[in-house]
Amino acid sequence: MADLTQTEWREKLENDSNAVLIDVRTEQEIDEGYIPKALHMDIYQGQTFMDKVQELDKDKTYYIYCRSGGRSAQACAIMNQLGFNKTYNLLGGFSEWQGAITHK
């Protein structure tokens, strides 16, 4: 896992053809908007979250964010324990995101 600044995270994401974007916030937070193409996997859903993680391809690179960077750091740590070697946490999270945002 690596903690990346907003700029580092966005640059790596934009130049990574193997990237998967994951939003680990709650449904209510997602309703406020999210980064385009993000998969929603609420970390507070416990076993459901774990089941979804187990279905992911360990060869991909994962860019993970939450509201401020805490839950996404947890998600990265969990994924690393499960054998995912390329996880990147967005420092400052969605609350500091300056890029594109979409709504449902």
Catalytic, 76? Answer no
- What is the DSSP secondary-structure string of the chain? -EEE-HHHHHHHHHT-TTEEEEE-S-HHHHTT-B-TTPEE--GGGTHHHHHHHHTS-TTSEEEEE-SSSHHHHHHHHHHHHTT---EEEETTTGGG--S--B--
Identified catalytic residue from 66, 75, 76, 91:
66
Active site residues: 66
